[in-house]
Amino acid sequence: MVAAVTNGIKVSVVTEYQPFYSDPSRYHFAFSYRIKIENNSDATVQLMRRRWEIFDATYHKYEVKGDGVVGIQPVIEPGKSHEYVSGCNFNSVIGKMEGEFYMERLIDGKQIEVIIPKFVMIVPYILN
């Protein structure tokens, strides 16, 4: 697990290789990741947008931007958290992701950029 805290918002990430959805003979490697967003600030926030930078070992890099996460823009009150699971496919046995969540404090409309820590996804059998 990796984690980062920005402005009282903690983002934690856990990854898992998905062999059932992967096909190594065709250079297709599937991973899931679980994101937990904990609001340790004193204000209610809403996750409005996200931006990802995604890299694989073949030096392929792309950027993904969009509203909310997995189709929603969750509101997270102080002391509460929001979790979701998503996934990513790579053409190599290793890849990494990092990015930002763009949140809004509901009390005053202030925009907050929250760091999503860099996390690496590795097919487990290459570590042997």
Supply the pLDDT for residue 40.
98
What's the mean per-residue pLDDT of the chain? 96
Instruction: Please report where in the chains the tokens 């790579």 appear, as a residue.
Output: 90
In the chain the domains, ranked by start, together with CATH numbers, are 2-127 (2.60.40.1470)
Q: Could you tell me which residues are beta bridge partners of residue 119?
A: 97
Supply the pLDDT for residue 85.
98
Supply the pLDDT for residue 73.
98
pTM here is 0.94
What distance in Å separates the CA atoms of residue 67 and residue 79, rounded to the nearest whole number? 24
The SS3 assignment for 45 reads strand
pLDDT class of 105 with cuts at 50, 70, 90:
very high
Residue 128 above 90 pLDDT? no
pLDDT class of 123 with cuts at 50, 70, 90:
very high
Q: Please, what is the end-to-end C-alpha distance for the chain in angstroms?
A: 20
pLDDT class of 58 with cuts at 50, 70, 90:
confident
